[in-house]
Each structure stands twice: as structure tokens, then as C-alpha cells.
Amino acid sequence: MKVLVPVKRVVDANVKIRVKPDQSGVDLANVKMAMNPFDEIAVEEALRLREAGKATEVVAVSIGPAQAQETIRTALAMGADRGIHVAAEGTVEPLAVAKLLKAVADREQPGLIVMGKQAIDDDSNQTGQMLAALLGWPQGTFASKVAIGDGAVEVTREVDGGLQTLSLKLPAVITTDLRLNEPRYASLPNIMKAKKKTIDALTTAELGVDVTPRLTVEKTAPPPGRQGGVKVASVEELVAKLKEAGALA
């Protein structure tokens, strides 16, 4: 079984971003970029399936500018077998990403797609569900455990009330949650090896997808600020202040 893993290049999770003064967007000049953390978890899961003999090939795919190839390289250095880069400039919304990924899946015919639950830049949490819909496949979102069976996969999901386990017919789309696994670091030899692996190049036109955004972003503003930073000296003072603020009613 082939596993397809969509990976997105995003601002590193440790960076506190700044909004541009003219509110036209987020300032990304010279900001450290990385693979979306949930996608690292997805790559790791796919690799573990291959190592357990449940998968035969792991293909990483990314949609974005030329630099998205670096993100694919990261996946290859972790151990993915090959990559696919779909060149696209500017904002590609989750719906368009899902359409492009569907077109890639139609060509590649994977038995499973494992991807992140959420990109930490747009925080959309949509693409996996949309892709599953467009493919007519079942979806196992927010996965904390994946067990491949015969023609089906059991997915344990992190839900608001606790955990839920579903059985999905294969092929299926799975989106990862934080506790699915702990992604490995790429070793130096594997980073070297990754340089020789192939990354196929595709365009949105070749895949026949119109990526024109459906949402117009009118402005991007900083969130309302908070006046914090006040310290109290003791438990007694804290309780008095809370009482005064009506927080102990």
C-alpha cells in the first residue's frame, strides 16, 4: 500500500508573528519556516507503517512556492521515499489544496492519506476533511492511534469528550493529532541520502485546478491587547483582589 503525506511549509511554531503596519497581512520577511508540526507527525506515522510492513511506499507532497521543496526534502530526510511538488504562488486555500491533492491522489492511487489536522498558520482544520469528501473516502480526523487491519483501518480520535474509535474502509484519509507519535529527527546520513531522492514537479494547470481564492481578506489586524503584568505578593492579597473583582461569586 502506498501512503501519501501532504506536508505544508509554515512559520516555525516558536515564532511570534507580527502583523504588517498597513494591516495587509502577516510579516513573513526573514521569518524562520518549518514543516507544519502536525505534518511531521503524519510523516512519522507513514514511516512507521512502512517499517511495520503495512505500507510499501511513502510519498510526500507539498503545494506552494519553490521553497516548499525544502519541506519535501525534510520529509525525505526523515525517510519518505519520494516527493511531489505542486508549484503555486500566493494563498492557496484549503478547498483548492484539497482539489489539488485529489488530483494527485487520482494519479498516485494511494491506499491511505495521512496529513495534519491543522496548519498552524491559517489554523483552518479543513483540508483533510475536504479531501476525503472530494475522493468519496472515509475520514479519521484528530487521530491519536492508527491500526491497519484487513481492508480497513481503526482510528482512535481525540474528541471533546475524550476518545472515540472508528473503523474506516480503505482507502481513507487520516488527520493527525499531537499524541499520535513523536516524530524522529533526520540523521545526517539520511539528510545526505534525501538529496538523491526524486521530487516530481507539477503545476496547478497540469492538475486542472483553479486555485483562485474564494475568500477576500479585507484586512489582517493584531488581536485586542491585554493589560496584564500585575503581580500580587501573597495568597491573601490575591483572594482580596479576586473578591473585589467579583470573581469569587
Residue pair 194/83 in contact (Cβ under 8 Å)? The answer is no
CB burial readout 171-203, b (16+ within 10 A) else e: bbbbbbbeebbebeebeeeeeeebeebebeebe
Q: What residues pair up with 2 in beta bridges, in sequence order? A: 57
**11 is a site residue for ligand FAD (CB under 6 A):** no
Q: Select the binding partner of residue 19 from another protein, ligand FAD, ligand AMP, none (C-beta < 5 to 8 A, by kind).
A: another protein
Report d(CA 50, CA 23) in Å as an integer. Answer: 45
Min dist CB 21 to ligand FAD, Å, is: 27
Min dist CB 177 to ligand FAD, Å, is: 10
Taking residues 119 to 148 in sequence order and writing x for each that binds ligand AMP by CB under 6 A, - otherwise, the string is x--x-xxxxx--------------------
Give helix 94-108 / helix 127-135 axis angle, nearest 10°. 50
> How many residues bind to ligand AMP according to rule CB under 6 A?
22
Q: Specify burial of residue 64 (Cβ count, 10 A radius: 0-12, 13-18, 19+).
A: buried
Q: Taking CB positions, which residue lies at the least distance from ligand AMP? A: 116
Residue closer to ligand FAD, measured from CB, 37 or 140: 37
Residue closer to ligand FAD, measured from CB, 185 or 195: 185
**156 is a site residue for ligand AMP (CB under 6 A):** no
Residue closer to another protein, measured from CB, 53 or 162: 162
CA distances from 75 to 40, 108, 130, 179, 180 (A): 8, 18, 23, 19, 17
**116 is a site residue for ligand FAD (CB under 6 A):** no
Q: What residues pair up with 152 in beta bridges, in sequence order? A: 169
Q: Which residue from 33, 87, 120, 166 is in contact with ligand FAD, where contact means CB under 6 A?
A: 120
What are the residues binding ligand FAD (CB under 6 A)? 13, 37, 120
